[in-house]
Amino acid sequence: MKILFVPHAPNITLVNRVYEFAKHSESYFLYWHLNNSTFKNKLLTQLRALFTPFSQKEALLSMPLLFRPDGMAPKVNTYLLNRLIRRYKIDVVVNANALLFDIAAIEVPVIYDLVDDHLSPNPDIGLTQKRIEKVKKDIQNSIGVISVTAELEEKVKSLNPQSTVIENGLHLERFKKAVSLKKELSLKGKKVYGYIGGVDAWTGIDKAIEHYLRIANDKTAMIVVGDSSASFFTQLKSKYEKEILFMGKIAPEKVPDYFKTLDIGLIPFRLNDFTNNAYPIKALEYGLSGATVLSTPLKVLKNRALPFIHFCEIENFSECMQRIEPEPVTYNFSALSWQNKTDALTDFVKSSLKAAKR
């Protein structure tokens, strides 16, 4: 069975659940370049995308794509996707993208992978009611739906009863080999706070930095792993480059070493349906690396009651940062491998295909 995985957003520098599923099932994944930092870069990205040839590089497939306007792009992209499907003899598509394709017109069965809450309006990420209606229609036209959390599945069941929950996984072996970089980064003897992952405004990374600086001293440090050419983050780096260690983008195989360097891992996300119903991979990765976690009170994380995660309102983050101390992490992560999660996914795909044929 040849599966094509379509990510919600293209990012191969950080752990992406769709790419992990593709790699662990020996399947294909779709990748495209996207740069939204300025109008000029948006325009250049669109032109390059339209002239991208159909191609394969190992598991990675590329194809032309149209990003705007919303009304036309899915029709054009689905026509092109069907050509890709025929060329590479794809049997089923697992789609996590909310905008690019018209699921009803794809020539093979589609499983929808709902990686975030795209069912509630959210101006931070451009989720308008019109876009939400498209997501709902796509879910209804899929033969099955995978949700990243049980909380999110509750919102999906009324749209498509053929559903399951597959939460995010972990690179267990990669983290076992991880080594602290405190000595290399001249942080030995310091209490290291850190944030690793996407750096968009909704992550609250700016607030985390502001609160850290209120309690910073010569026995503490803060590192940020991740990068963006968007003005929000470029301005943040420029403002705090002398106080914070901005590490930029790191090769995925080296990222566990940075997790291992942290004493306190931070999740300062803004609270809304999008973040409340998500299950940040970093929450698990911080713990697996031995770091204690400080997070805003996200609903999914609170429901999981993981012993290494502490919660604090963003307004009080500096007080909580100062109070919280690193503690041994004894949680058993063994069942959370990406291979186990991928096996569950392929089983669901097979059962959904059988159900669709009845």
Q: Which pLDDT belongs to residue 39?
A: 80
Q: Is the pLDDT of residue 36 over 90?
A: no
Residue 92's pLDDT band, with cuts at 50, 70 and 90, is: very high
Q: Give the pLDDT confidence of 41-84 residue by residue, as tens digits.
A: 888 988 999 999 999 999 999 999 999 888 899 999 999 999 99
Return the number of other C-beta atoms located less than 10 Å from residue 121's C-beta: 13
Return the number of other C-beta atoms located less than 10 Å from residue 282's C-beta: 25
Q: Give the pLDDT confidence of 113-126 residue by residue, as tens digits.
A: 999 888 888 887 77
Q: Which pLDDT belongs to residue 46?
A: 87
Q: Give the pLDDT confidence of 8-22 residue by residue, as tens digits.
A: 888 777 778 889 999
Q: Give the pLDDT confidence of 247-298 residue by residue, as tens digits.
A: 999 988 899 999 999 999 999 999 998 899 889 999 999 999 999 999 999 9
> Which residue type does 320 have?
C
Q: Is the pLDDT of residue 96 over 90?
A: yes
Q: Which pLDDT belongs to residue 40?
A: 86
Per-residue burial over 227-244, b = 16 or more CB atoms within 10 Å of its CB, e = otherwise = bbebeebeebeeebeeeb
Q: Which pLDDT belongs to residue 78?
A: 98
Q: Is the pLDDT of residue 172 over 90?
A: yes
Q: Which pLDDT belongs to residue 320?
A: 98
Residue 127's pLDDT band, with cuts at 50, 70 and 90, is: confident
- pTM of the full predicted structure? 0.87
Q: Give the pLDDT confidence of 219-244 residue by residue, as tens digits.
A: 999 999 999 988 999 999 999 999 99
Sheet with 3-6: list strands edge to edge: 55-57, 60-62, 28-30, 3-6, 92-95, 110-114, 144-147, 163-165
Can you say how many angstroms the Cα of residue 32 is from the centroid of all Cα atoms in its chain?
16
Q: Give the pLDDT confidence of 184-225 residue by residue, as tens digits.
A: 999 999 999 999 999 999 999 999 999 999 999 999 999 999
Map residue 150 onto helix, strand or coil: helix
Q: List, by residue range, all CATH 3.40.50.2000 domains of the chain.
A: 3-169+338-357, 172-334
CATH architecture of structural domain 172-334: 3-Layer(aba) Sandwich (3.40)
**Continuous segment of H or E residues that includes residue 304:** helix 299-304
Return the number of other C-beta atoms located less than 10 Å from residue 92's C-beta: 23
Note the CATH number of domain 3-169+338-357: 3.40.50.2000
